Amino acid sequence: MESQVSVLIVDDSSIVRQALQRELSRQPGIRVVGTAPDPFVARDMILLHKPNVVTLDIEMPRMDGLTFLRKLMKYHPMPVIVVSSLAAKGRAMAIACLEAGAVDVVPKPHESYSIGDVAGRLGDLIRGAARAKLRTPGAGQAARSAVEPEPSIALAETTHKVAALGASTGGTEALRVVLEGLPKQCPGILVTQHMPEGFTASFAERLNSLCELEVKEAADGDWVVPGRALLAPGNRHLKLDRDGARYIARVVDGPRVSRHRPSVDVLFESVARVAGRNAMGVIMTGMGNDGAAGMLSMRNAGAVTVGQDEASCVVYGMPKEALKAGGVQVVSPLEDIAGHILAYARGQLKARAA
């Protein structure tokens, strides 16, 4: 029992509470210590049971989840995973919850996302969240383990450069830090962040309001140009392609890769093939190994590769696996990554052999 992660479920719907309790209790290594219908009951149960992780609804009676999350992170900080509907209001509030310190956001069950899907995703997040470092809030298809390589079409050398960024748990705030640190003169940027369908547009809009460069949810055929960052839409893969001398974004369907769609491996493998030594790859905080194989491909293709360091990661999973695989050239604190991108763009940061 000591190795189990204890979790408290907070949701105003008795049906959702019962369903999550039943399904999460079946997950290995997880013990549900109780459920609460609102934040006031949750506060007392947190003090009584001292759970390792809390799952939290957003819209609840007496106090909304965002207000409770802010109070919790101020007075009793602990790992919180938001379980939210995909309503338009819910999407905006979910982004605010991530900024307030939530580890991650999972959509509630709906017609195409069953309670089993939710519980499976939650189970992985809960086990990872129990090991996550708390941070101060900022002012269907079968999985494949790797992407099948395609022949390179990268130019030997070009003045057009591109940076590819990949992140998961904790990545919303990490991406904010990096992108806020970049001017409009930065290289074109492609981003894959593990987020549910419906949240990425709101996240991109939020970043666009904070950053000097343009940030938008990627659409198929978008140009990858300096001063623009394109974010993979939820449940779609993002790839780099070329139309003549121009880089363009491809937004595609396809099976999950490394258990994810969008997958960092899919993005990195496409960048290795299309841009080669004219690219830079950055892998940041997150659970699992998505991006490790793709980053190695990028490094082997001559790209500059950077992995976020353990001290600044919320979860040191993806960068650790990429480093172990030999794909990481530079290990960097989060606050230095924007500087590395600019140094690369100026030709001051060069690739080294693995």
Task: Give the whole-angstrom CA distance, residue 82 versus residue 106.
Answer: 6
Give the CA count within 13 Å in the CB-facing half-sphere of 164. 37
Domain range annotation of the chain? 5-129, 162-345
Task: Give the whole-angstrom CA distance, residue 17 versus residue 240.
Answer: 42
As beta bridge partners, residue 305 has 281
Q: Phi then psi for 218, rounded to 5 degrees?
A: -65, 140
Task: Give the whole-angstrom CA distance, residue 36 versus residue 68.
Answer: 13
pLDDT in tens, 14-68: 998 999 999 999 999 999 999 999 999 999 999 999 999 999 998 888 898 999 9
Among 168, 263, 270, 332, the one annotated catalytic: 168
pLDDT band at 244 (very low <50, low <70, confident <90, very high): confident
What mean pLDDT is predicted for residues 82-90? 65
What mean pLDDT is predicted for residues 146-154? 54
Averaged pLDDT score across all residues of the chain: 88
DSSP states along 157-205: --S--EEEEEE-TTHHHHHHHHHHT--TTSPEEEEEE---TTTHHHHHH
194 is catalytic: yes
Among 57, 84, 194, 332, the one annotated catalytic: 194
Task: Give the whole-angstrom CA distance, residue 67 versus residue 58.
Answer: 9
Which of 79-83, 174-178, 322-326 has the weakest average pLDDT? 79-83
Residue bearing tokens 């940027």:
189
154 pLDDT above the threshold of 70: no
Helix axis angle, 88-100 relative to 65-75, nearest 10°?
Answer: 0
290 is catalytic: yes
Q: What is the pLDDT of residue 270?
A: 98
166 pLDDT above the threshold of 50: yes
168 is catalytic: yes
pLDDT in tens, 119-135: 888 888 899 888 888 76
pTM for the full predicted model: 0.83
Among 290, 297, 309, 340, the one annotated catalytic: 290
Q: Phi then psi for 190, rounded to 5 degrees?
A: -115, 135
What mean pLDDT is predicted for residues 173-193? 95
What kind of fold does domain 162-345 have according to CATH?
Rossmann fold (3.40.50)
Rg (CA), the chain: 20
What kind of fold does domain 5-129 have according to CATH?
Rossmann fold (3.40.50)
174 pLDDT above the threshold of 90: yes
Asked whether this chain's domains 5-129 and 162-345 adopt the same fold, the reply is yes
Q: What is the pLDDT of residue 90?
A: 53
